């Protein structure tokens, strides 16, 4: 039986999109719990952000998204597991009730920015960018041990 997925649109600024891809590739070989596959990595990132709770998310020092023309951004649709999507939506409500009003795209940006910063710190300050036009591998083999 397959799991239910929900198409979830998100607006990405191009720089964060590239940084997210670089963090995902870094985590493949450097984080034992990182999943293989970008959409699985995104689930992992979103679920970690939900688990922080409203107070934990509010305590983060994540700079706001870059201000760029909407036409310069990237609209992406991600097939999220229904459970992950529901937990994210509840977290957005919890944040709003705690005084933090965020769109779905802004919330996803914050979750990804935290994971990118963590990967960058573990990488010694710099993540190797994925070359422009380079597709990410589907279900890559993770480094063992």
Strand partners, 74: 12
For residue 68, the SS3 value is: coil
Q: Is the pLDDT of residue 56 over 80?
A: yes
Q: Is the pLDDT of residue 125 over 60?
A: yes
- Note the pLDDT of residue 66: 72
Helix axes 38-51, 104-122, angle to 10 degrees: 100
pLDDT tens across 23-32, in order?
999 999 999 9
- Note the pLDDT of residue 79: 97
Chain-centroid distance of CA 46 in Å reads 6
Domain boundary assignment for the chain: 5-122
Name the token pair of 63.
Answer: 């700079």
3-state secondary structure 3-40: CCEEEEEEEECHHHHHHHHHHHHHHHHHCCCCCCCHHH
pLDDT tens across 71-103, in order?
788 999 999 999 999 999 999 999 999 999 999
Name the token pair of 45.
Answer: 């990132």
- Note the pLDDT of residue 145: 56
């Amino acid at each position: 039986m397959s799991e239910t997925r929900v198409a979830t649109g998100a607006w990405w600024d191009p720089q964060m999109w590239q940084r997210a891809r670089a963090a995902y590739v870094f985590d493949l070989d450097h984080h034992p719990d990182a999943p293989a596959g970008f959409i699985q990595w995104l689930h992992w990132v979103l679920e970690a952000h939900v688990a922080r709770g409203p107070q934990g998310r509010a305590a983060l020092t994540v700079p706001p998204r870059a201000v760029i023309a909407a036409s310069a951004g990237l609209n992406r649709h991600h097939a999220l597991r229904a459970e992950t999507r529901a937990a994210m939506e509840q977290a957005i409500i919890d944040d709003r009730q705690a005084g933090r009003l965020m769109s779905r795209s802004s919330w996803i940006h914050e979750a990804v920015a935290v994971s990118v910063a963590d990967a960058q710190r573990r990488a010694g300050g710099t993540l190797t960018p994925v070359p422009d036009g380079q597709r990410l591998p589907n279900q890559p083999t993770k480094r063992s041990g």
